[in-house]
Amino acid sequence: MQAALVLPHCEIYLLRTFPRIVDLEVPANHTVVLFSMVGTSDTIINGQPLDHPSLVLGRGPTDYRMVQGVQTCVAGIRFKSAMLAALDKAFLDTNLLDVQRARSFQNSLRIVKHIDARLSANWGRAIYSDELASELRISVRTMHTAMLKIRGMSLHRYLRLRRL
């Protein structure tokens, strides 16, 4: 089985393959990305066995030999290297503020997950914000900010809604 989507600057493939040997030539200024989607470990690329699932990156001009000992499923993308340069630029242009926001969101999510776990474990018991903040080693204000960011409401409103 093979499915292909040809776009102006790239080609996307989904392949269900059988045991075989594949010689692949990647032209100059092209990049190939392969995603192994089935957990088998009987694939060798240029003499190197792959762990599965895996991600393979190849840039031309070069040749690749892939030996697949069993049936597998692979997704692949082939595009001009200029597109890869555009992706690199996009990642490099990420400013420090974006990274800090992502970390802040992850920290808020961790706080809310702890609160939810505590609520689930103690249905009949009263929960107090200063207790929760002390457990988490954060201030009540930080906990309140996390609740607003993740749940869109204050901790006390959230506690009332959960009790109902």
pLDDT, tens only, 99-125: 787 788 889 999 999 998 888 888 778
Confidence tier at 40 by pLDDT (50, 70, 90): low
Mean pLDDT, rounded, for 138-146: 93
What's the confidence (pLDDT) of residue 144? 92
Round the average pLDDT of the chain to a whole number and report it. Answer: 83
Evaluate whether 45 touches 76 at the Cβ level (below 8 Å).
no
Mean pLDDT, rounded, for 129-147: 91
Distances in Å between the Cα of 113 and the Cα atoms of 48, 107, 147 are 41, 10, 10
For residue 144, give the H/E element and its range. helix 140-151
What is the model's pTM?
A: 0.49
Query: Is 86's pLDDT higher than 80?
Result: no
Structure tokens at 59: 């840039």
